[in-house]
Amino acid sequence: GAATMATVPEVEIDADGTFKYILVRLQRPGGEERQDIVRGTKAAEFHNHIFEKVNPEMEKLGFECKCLGGGKIEHNSKDKKIRVFGLSTGYGKADHSVTVEILKKVYTDYEITWSDDKK
């Protein structure tokens, strides 16, 4: 059967470093159910590289993807800190406050902040 949204990890980001991220909205075609997920990795030189990887994976599960914007994440696992900032040239700036709320669900014992700083 089709995957449920609950089976999709809300956050997949690199364990350390500073890297690009995107905020993606998943939706069932014609359905009401939706979920926003955060994806980020150092492997991506551009924001669309992340989307090009996520989109086919989600389509296989029967979800439509829409990129809500992007930015950067600075992940310091040693100090348990995450900083969300910056923007995506192609997709525009994600709502970092939304991103932070999603990250908090996963990184419950972290200090997570955001700003509109470029770096």
Residue type, 45: E
Q: Flag whether 93 is marked binding.
A: no
Indicate which residue of 47, 49, 75, 96 is catalytic: 47
Cα within 13 Å of Cα(114), Cβ side: 21
Please state, in angstroms and rounded to a whole number, the distance separating the CA atoms of residues 111 and 8: 24
* Chain position carrying tokens 């709320």: 101
75 a catalytic residue? no
Burial of 73 (0-12, 13-18, 19+ CB in 10 A): buried
Binding residues: 20
Q: What residues form the annotated binding site for substrate?
A: 20
Task: Please list the active-site residues.
Answer: 47
